[in-house]
């Protein structure tokens, strides 16, 4: 399924990029161009990122700096 129409990025490409080490939407932007044009796909791409990372048990804890 296409996630980013502007850059023709699919969910499979996002899954592969997460498997290769992408951990954030910024990583997906840098590597695939996701959400770098109109931005309409940012929420869906983030959802796929979280889902894929969660399945791979790669979700890192959130740290809060004081």
Distance CA 52, CA 48 (A): 6
Q: Please indicate, yes or no, whether the overall pTM of this predicted structure exceeds 0.85.
A: no
The tens digit of pLDDT for each residue in 16-65 reads 999 999 999 999 999 999 999 999 999 999 998 888 877 765 444 444 55
Residues in the chain: 66
pLDDT of residue 59: 46
- Contact call for residues 18 and 26 (beta carbons, < 8 A): no
CA distance 65 to 31: 28
Predicted pLDDT of residue 14 = 92
The domains found in the chain, sorted by start residue, are: 2-55 (1.10.10.1100)
């Amino acid at each position: 399924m296409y996630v980013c129409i502007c850059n023709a990025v699919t969910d499979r490409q996002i899954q592969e990029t997460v498997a290769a080490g992408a951990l954030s939407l910024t990583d997906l932007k840098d590597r695939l161009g996701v959400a770098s044009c109109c931005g309409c796909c940012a929420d869906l791409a983030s959802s796929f990122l979280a889902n894929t990372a969660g399945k791979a048990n790669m979700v890192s804890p959130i740290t809060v700096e004081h």
